Amino acid sequence: MNIENLEAFVYVIHYGSFNKAADMLFLSQPSVTARIQTLERELDCKLFDRFGRQIQLTEKGKQFLPYAQQILQTYQKGKVQLHKQKALPNLVRIGCTISVSNYIIPDLLPLLKNKYPDLMFKLSVTTTDDIMNQVLNKELDVGFVRNVAHPHLQSIKLYTDPITLYVHEGHPFIEKHDVTIKDIEQETFVFFECGALDWLQLHRVFESLDHPPQIEYMTDNLETAKKLVLNKAGICFLPSLCVSKEVSEQKLFPIHFPEVSNISLQTNVINLHGENSIVYSSLLDMGKEILRSKAIISEVQ
């Protein structure tokens, strides 16, 4: 049985005439008539009685109508489902910086998997520049990067993460209520250097001091920097997201200075314009929910 013949039958009933049905189906009236006649031959019964220009369903037509409608509805639902599956890739390739990999992705991917159980995920951890180039070259579908702009990329801010000085348990700064930026001149420092422009602002703060702090440990790994502070090797400026657990457990303590209050790291989510829009939107929405639940990130948009 031809779906187009069933469609003509239902349209004629819905619009009350062969001519109107033909207009809505972008067909000629004889074509609609031919489809109805073919359907009547297939069913071996008459579906319509014609009284001049008026038409009326026969008893057989009335009996068949709900089945024809159900078949068309099922067919349309099947088409929608196929289009949904076509719209979603089987494999989503995600690129992210190491901080996103450590502190957001482990919460985010299980939520995304729960929403799209048929998806597989491949995660690459690298630098912002590499991620941007791989998204542009269609080697990655979505990227979590520092603040970037490119005419071929959709780039939306996910969050900004304040950079704050953190000290270990027992450090004298914790009990001192009037700590100033000059007090860090005599401190031993662990310095996390990620290469982002935001960190250059810290260098400028250091240059304003009479005696720059003693940077005895430099690392490009957040977890290493954090553990050095926990082991009392020094103090360190760190993004808030990476130390939320240690702060809540009172193992690390934030020390605030006006001179660094506006320094933060911004993370954006990028993809090619028009590509993987469903997954991209879900990553943004779920990422924001995770960050709100952690309640430590500023400016979740």
Going by pLDDT thresholds of 50, 70 and 90, the confidence category of residue 83 is low
| Calculated CA dihedral for residues 268, 273, 278, 284, nearest 10 degrees | 10
In this predicted model, which residue has the larger pLDDT, 297 or 219?
219
Strand partners, 94: 123, 142
Confidence at residue 300, expressed as pLDDT on a 0 to 100 scale: 46
State how far Cα 42 lies from the chain centre: 50
The answer to whether residues 274 and 297 belong to one domain is yes
Query: How far is the C-alpha of 8 from the C-alpha of 61, rounded, in Å?
Result: 13
Q: Is the domain of 34 the same as that of 179?
A: no
Domain stop point among 38, 61, 87? 87
Q: Are 108 and 287 in contact (CB under 8 A)?
A: yes
295, pLDDT greater than 80? no
φ/ψ (deg, to 5) at 32: -65, -45
> Considering the chain, what is the average pLDDT of its residues?
84
75 and 205 assigned to the same domain:
no
pLDDT of residue 203: 73
Share of the chain above pLDDT 70, in %: 89
Q: What is the CATH number of the domain that holds 67?
A: 1.10.10.10
Does 282 lie in the same domain as 139?
yes
If asked whether residues 120 and 268 sit together in one domain, one would say yes
Best CA proximity match to 191, nearest among 153, 157, 161, 221: 221
Residue 65 sits in which domain range? Answer: 3-87
Same domain for 237 and 158? yes
Q: Which of these, 153, 158, 99, lies nearest to 126 by C-alpha position?
A: 99
Residues 174 and 214 reside in one and the same domain: yes
195 & 55 share domain? no
Asked if 90 and 119 touch (Cβ cutoff 8 Å), the reply is yes
What pTM did the predictor assign? 0.61
Same domain membership, residue 194 and residue 96: yes
Domain end point (choices 58, 87, 116): 87
Average pLDDT estimate for 42-53: 86
Q: How many domains does the chain have?
A: 2
Residue 129 in contact with residue 229, Cβ under 8 Å? Answer: no
Same domain, 32 and 102: no
Q: What is the pLDDT of residues 28-42, one digit of tens each?
A: 989 989 998 999 999
Q: Are residues 110 and 205 in the same domain?
A: yes
